[in-house]
Structure 1
Amino acid sequence: MNPRPNAARSGGATLALSVISFFLILTSYYVLRPVRDQLVGAAGSSSLPVFYAIVFVVMLALTPVFGWLVARFPRRRMIMVSYLSFVICLVAFVPAFVAQDRIGAVALGRVFFVWVSVFNLFVVSLFWSFMADVYRSRDARLMFPFIAFGGMAGALAGPLLTRLLVLRLGVPAMLVVSAVMLLLALAALLSLSTREEARDGASAAPLGGSILEGAKAAFAQPFLRYMTVLMLLSDGIATMAYALMADYTKAHFVDNAARTAFYADLDLWINGLGALLQLTLTPLLLRGLGTAWALVLPSVVNLCLLGWLAVHGPGDAMLFGFAVPLVAIVQVGTRGFTFGMAKPAADALYTRMPREARYKGKNFIETTVWRFGDLLVTTGLNGLRAVGVGIAGIGLICAGLAAIATEVARRAASSPDLAPESQDVADDDA
């Protein structure tokens, strides 16, 4: 039976399931994030190198596991095993948070910071690898902004849920709320996978190959090399802003609940900017001027913000008549443009690569490379402070990184190994 007469209906259902899935995934994550971040704020940025060192070691251990799953199991089973594992872990954390006073906030905070970081990277990266498998290049530029906007809506709903429920239900109950959201996301993804397998069974097959091929691809293929460098540069900027914000909250908030509320508000501003971009400028760029503009513009914005920080230095800046910490403006701007523009553009580019790159190479870059960058940047930040470099100097250094990232982003979007935008990538490498 020819499925073409129902193509429009099928495409609409596919998009709806994709949007719902990502909404639930990011709601699950952003229920947890303010709890994690206030622990970092209590410790200050000096503790981040240790946190990120543990995360990096965990990434090195888990990346081969992810590669093995992709190589050996069909897509449906891989998604089910991965997401259910994180749901089980969330539930397992509940007794630990019930006994938080006995365990100690610092010890629990280190473990939870590492786990939430792994949760974010693997769950979200796997989702976008799946999306790059489902959508072809000609559809991705149209659909990905809507999917990303669904995620941004979840990123707004998560902090709101946390602020609404945590004082009534307590912190342990928030883990259950997050687990329920992730289970619902899994149900939507399994439904989407079943629909796509019925239409294209080959794309659901295991990829085969070595568990280390993701790392090899990241250094062997031009596009993935560019994305690796861009990840390190962009992560350097984002992690710097995150560390400076940790020091700001440590200096200005002594109450755990107040820090949690501040970080929830910060997430709302970041994700609100991202949602606004995905509703307005990002679709116009992706559909009109092309993916390159949407990948390059966030680096230009970073350059401007960091130049402002280098000139202005620490302290407050006037924004719409209000005194706002400049480090907060930098974090909102850098992360908002990353989530609202750069991420949809990068994910659209991955649709023009073979499945091996979409799953293994992409996951390696967005897990191991990312966390190596975190460790490198936070260690370097502590070193700069040890030799007397202040916030203005750090801003100037990061502005230089943003200038380099602008050129790397341009080259990534025009990499010679990307398939033409009008051409679907064949999956005969599966």
Structure 2
Amino acid sequence: MFEPSRLLRVFGDIRREEIVTALLMTGTLFLLMAGYYVLKTVREPLILMSGTGRLSGAELRSYSGAMQALVLMVLVPLYGRVAARVPTVKLVIGVTVFFVVNIQLFALWAWLDLPGIGVAFYIWLGIFNLAVIAQFWSFANDLYRLESGARLFPIIAIGAAAGSPVGAFITGLLIRDGVDVYRLMQVTAVTLVLCAILIHAIHRRETVSRPAGASTERPLQLRGGFRLIARSGYLRLVVVMIILLSVVTRNGEYMLSRTVLEAAQEQVVERSEAAIAADGVHATMGRLGGGRADTLPSSPVDAAADRSGGLAGAMPVSRATEAVADVVRDAVSAADETLAREIVRDRTRRFIGGFYGDFYFWVNLLTLLVQGLLVSRLLRVGGMAAVVLLLPVVSLGVYAIFALGAGFAMIRWAKTAEKVVDYSVMNTARALLWLPTTREEKYNAKLAVDTFFVRFGGVLTALCVFVAGDLLAWSIPAFAAANVVLALIWLWFAFRVVRENRRLQDSVPEVAQSGRDAVH
């Protein structure tokens, strides 16, 4: 007789009585990630086309990222106050419904065509995507004990690994069918409603199977997330580790963006020079423009969307391709100068868009395979140390390769490896870190760590890029060497987190592992 548990054991250690709840949890996480990737597509044209006379859309994008951290300083304590008044299952469902209402307000804002939606939506989405995922894992930590959580979290996390590419794929299909960005918002609203229904079903199922009183029935004690972190040595270590993770990996994004941009410039220069020598200027311009000398980017929105593809933190394409355009411009009359610039910019954007499309295809595919087939086995063999320490070790190798001046292909695959480990192994590790903590820490402190402190890491990255990239004009190898030092510090803090996590697990009796009430 066929048993589903045998099939699911390919992905991890799961027992027959755990299958239904685990699949419901996996489906919920799948819908959350798919819905987020739909909104992520909506975000880019809104923010990039919302520039003013003094600030470009790309500059507003950077400043909006810093604004998210400021908004979270208010929202995190407010979340703690609400959590002290209602049962946690109602908190999770209520926050999800709150975000659905937010989406409808943004849709109305867009329909009325009022100014300011780009910045407001960017700030909101940056908070939304961190908050809903943090809250989901808080609920999972509240639901499962240490032993079962360690076995099942790698399986549940497959939902995130699968939801991201599926959400992006569905969005692409809808856009090609002519669905506008505002109607796309309603796709995410539907996925969030389904998530709320699934959370309710999971709660009802677990309440019936464990009538002694699931912890999700009880409100939390009134303890703010920042206060809980300040009182816990373990959580302070986790905060430092997460900030360093954010800074190191985001610095890597900046370095990859610069590398891709330089590669795009070199390709356009080489092709332009060779074609001009062989065929003449106007024929070359026609080929660069896609067959016609008067071909320009299809629309401002398309150009902005292309320009956003992986270039956060790097020079704007309009500035970065200035020198490249000179290759064509020097060979043509003044009347052709603007056309030459536009054609070269368009060609550069095509290279960048093609690179990142292929790059994220492999990242998503490999993440799904690693999450489904390797993470649970790695955890079973090496324990928490293996899943927490793997990413800083990989990052050390990646930025050592950058620092040694490796070629474009090597840099690409090194960064692919880092992203795959981050999105699979480290994402699971970040959920497991909270299993031995109190219920208040699982919800209030986790929300603070996964939202405010992650965004704070982004602010520090922006500072690093400004000082090292703009003021000091460091080369990529020099920037990477500094990142190696940061990765070593991150590895040291990760060792301390693993040691403290082991101590906490040893101090928590099995009967209390699902929801301790004392603050250590």
SS at match of 2:433: helix
Asked if residue 318 in structure 1 is aligned to residue 409 in structure 2, the reply is yes
What is the aligned counterpart of 1:345 among 420, 425, 429? 429
SS at match of 1:352: coil
What is the aligned counterpart of 2:228 among 217, 240, 243? 217
What is the aligned counterpart of 2:129 among 120, 145, 155? 120
Q: Deviation at 1:44?
A: 8.1
> What 5-or-longer segments of structure 2 have no aligned partner?
1-13, 50-55, 265-296, 310-352
Q: Structure 2 vs 1, CA of residues 373 and 45 (structure 1 numbering), >3 Å: closer, same or farther?
A: farther
On the 8 A contact 1:46/1:382 being kept in 2, the answer is: no
Show the counterpart of 2:369: 276
Q: Deviation at 1:166?
A: 1.5
On the 8 A contact 2:161/2:367 being kept in 1, the answer is: yes
Q: Deviation at 1:118?
A: 0.5
RMSD of aligned residue pairs (Cα, Å): 2.9
Show the counterpart of 2:486: 401
Show the counterpart of 1:359: 443
Q: Structure 2 vs 1, CA of residues 383 and 8 (structure 1 numbering), >3 Å: closer, same or farther?
A: closer
The whole-number CA distance in structure 1 between the counterparts of 2:405 and 2:509 is: 46
On the 8 A contact 1:122/1:363 being kept in 2, the answer is: yes
Q: Structure 2 vs 1, CA of residues 403 and 428 (structure 1 numbering), >3 Å: closer, same or farther?
A: closer
Q: Deviation at 1:265?
A: 5.4
Q: Deviation at 1:379?
A: 2.1
Q: Percent identity?
A: 26
The whole-number CA distance in structure 2 between the counterparts of 1:355 and 1:256 is: 44
Q: Deviation at 1:142?
A: 1.4
What is the aligned counterpart of 2:465 among 381, 384, 387? 381
The whole-number CA distance in structure 2 between the counterparts of 1:266 and 1:284 is: 26
SS at match of 2:505: coil
Q: Deviation at 1:94?
A: 2.0
Q: Structure 2 vs 1, CA of residues 120 and 151 (structure 1 numbering), >3 Å: closer, same or farther?
A: same
The whole-number CA distance in structure 2 between the counterparts of 1:180 and 1:417 is: 42
Q: Deviation at 1:388?
A: 1.9
Q: Deviation at 1:9?
A: 5.2
What is the aligned counterpart of 1:148 among 148, 157, 166? 157
The whole-number CA distance in structure 1 between the counterparts of 2:393 and 2:380 is: 20
What is the aligned counterpart of 1:334 among 415, 418, 422? 418
On the 8 A contact 1:28/1:178 being kept in 2, the answer is: yes
What is the aligned counterpart of 2:138 among 123, 129, 147? 129
Q: Deviation at 1:39?
A: 6.3
Q: Structure 2 vs 1, CA of residues 80 and 339 (structure 1 numbering), >3 Å: closer, same or farther?
A: same
Asked if residue 419 in structure 1 is aligned to residue 505 in structure 2, the reply is yes
On the 8 A contact 2:106/2:117 being kept in 1, the answer is: no
The whole-number CA distance in structure 1 between the counterparts of 2:358 and 2:77 is: 37
What is the aligned counterpart of 1:91 among 74, 83, 104? 104
Show the counterpart of 1:187: 197
Which deviates the most, 74-83 or 36-45? 36-45
The whole-number CA distance in structure 2 between the counterparts of 1:44 and 1:265 is: 25
Asked if residue 159 in structure 1 is aligned to residue 168 in structure 2, the reply is yes
Q: Which has the higher contact order (CA 8 A, sep 6+)?
A: 1
The one-character-per-residue Cα deviations of 1:368-425 (angstroms, maximum 9, x if unpaired) are 1111121122123112221222322222212211111122112211206522398452
Show the counterpart of 1:232: 243
The whole-number CA distance in structure 2 between the counterparts of 1:165 and 1:428 is: 46
Q: Structure 2 vs 1, CA of residues 295 and 174 (structure 1 numbering), >3 Å: closer, same or farther?
A: same
Which deviates the most, 245-254 or 178-187? 245-254
On the 8 A contact 1:49/1:379 being kept in 2, the answer is: no
The one-character-per-residue Cα deviations of 1:123-157 (angstroms, maximum 9, x if unpaired) are 00000000011111111121111111111111111
On the 8 A contact 1:75/1:204 being kept in 2, the answer is: yes
Which deviates the most, 228-237 or 39-48? 39-48
TM-score by length of 2: 0.72
What is the aligned counterpart of 2:82 among 69, 79, 93? 69
The whole-number CA distance in structure 1 between the counterparts of 2:105 and 2:361 is: 28
What is the aligned counterpart of 1:410 among 491, 495, 498? 495
**Would you say how many aligned residue pairs link Structure 1 and Structure 2?**
410
The whole-number CA distance in structure 1 between the counterparts of 2:41 and 2:482 is: 29
Q: Deviation at 1:246?
A: 6.1
Show the counterpart of 2:279: none
Q: Deviation at 1:233?
A: 0.2
On the 8 A contact 1:14/1:192 being kept in 2, the answer is: yes
Q: Structure 2 vs 1, CA of residues 36 and 242 (structure 1 numbering), >3 Å: closer, same or farther?
A: farther
Q: Deviation at 1:14?
A: 1.0
Q: Deviation at 1:10?
A: 4.2
SS at match of 1:388: coil
Show the counterpart of 1:322: none
Q: Structure 2 vs 1, CA of residues 193 and 268 (structure 1 numbering), >3 Å: closer, same or farther?
A: farther
Larger Rg: 2
> What 5-or-longer segments of structure 1 have no aligned partner?
1-6, 320-325
